[in-house]
Chain A
């Protein structure tokens, strides 16, 4: 498990980058936490530099949108998904479990963080 930081330091709309085997971007999308590979599958943009649009992050360079739940891009220029990772919150601290293979099931951590955030 990778320690990300205090939940209080990642308010809704914000993102942070942590280092696992590869760089991982963690997002707070309206109270739900998501983690995906940080590097865009199109070129080398850092997706934690992107902006949230609902449940997707828009790549800061060429605007490919990745669904935070599945890692799937919604269209060009990205063609491949990013990996998604499980997020857990313990005592107000965010952790990421690096793993989920490409295109895996949703890993939003709503249940875990919902109460803490609201």
Chain B
């Protein structure tokens, strides 16, 4: 293998280039990225960056003293992949052929059906965060549609900036699918305790306003006044450009555990990959930061035919979220068959750790709020399941 092309210049793309170099790959690496920015970190976009406590420079992912010898093609979109010569076609007509192709195109925010009035945002990119940040001034009325992680974090940050915040959640509690009803209710209380109004079973029927949004109308007739609206209604994998390439796509690029696709020399990693997971024994598309960082190491090793033995707990899916000053961490997997027990602490008063147990009485997931040390221990114990 002498040349590699990485499509997507974010966490998973950069981690892929790094991993190739760490494995001693000396050939050409081209990284193609649709955004004009050098790789940056997304988690702060709904947290510290939105709050204004860290800068664009702080969230850059590339280190000054590191020379990865990358040919960057930033501001360029890959529009097609020809599998036989592994040629990536760019929007400017250029073609890049290489021995290996890494698909790291991530996901994009799902949007509300248009046309939309001004002041309606989604949050996925640095540009999105900058645009939203300008509107989150003290006293501004923000309506967040969707009480998932991004919605909850935006609500938390906006409340901290002095905005009036309403969160419209379609379910009975936020995060029900990921955390279950009981722990979703704990997350609901985080909002209400911090002065954010939560509207469960809320169905949006109209964004009122022409030039700019003035309110959000719900199915039950209520109108929530709004200066700004954020839709936090999920993300879609960026895979449309692979249509006709022969690469198998099904809610993301289908891959094995190490990221290999059905096309030789083509791997997929990060948010765009629907990979087989040893932990669940099934394919799962994860939108988790640590997955986008760690999966590329396995994929790069696979491309180069090298050994790769990461710590066992890396195989246990993990994400975190920061809300209202609390550190929320989840590892493992929850199904509807799981029951929840509090192992340590008390959700009513603050820090706690909860375990998710399946029908066979086996612990499959762990949730912690403000208890990072025991959480890390449980994540490692969960690794022993595999």
Contact = CB atoms under 8 A, between A and B. Distances in A.
Interface stretch (B160-168, B201-209, B375-383): B375-383
B377 A51 contact: yes
Nearest to A77: B41
A61 B289 CA distance: 12
A90 interface: no
Q: Which secondary structure characterizes the binding site on chain A?
A: loop
Interface in B286-334: 289-290, 293, 311, 318, 320, 327, 329
A112 B290 CA distance: 37
A53 B313 CA distance: 11
Interface string B46-71: 00000000000000010100000000
A88 B289 CA distance: 38
A98 interface: no
Interface residues of A, number: 15
Given A75-B18, A79-B63, A49 B376 contact: yes
Contact of A60 (B11, B289, B373): B373
Contacts of A76: 11, 15, 41, 61, 293
Contacts of A104: none
B373 A62 contact: no
Interface residues of B, number: 21
A50 interface: yes
Contacts of A77: 41, 43
Interface string A27-61: 00000000000000000011001110100001011
A102 interface: no
B17 to A, nearest CB: 12
Given A51-B380, A77-B41, A61 B293 contact: no
Q: Which of A50, A62, A76, A79 has the most CB of B within 10 A?
A: A76
Interface of A: 45-46, 49-51, 53, 58, 60-63, 75-77, 79
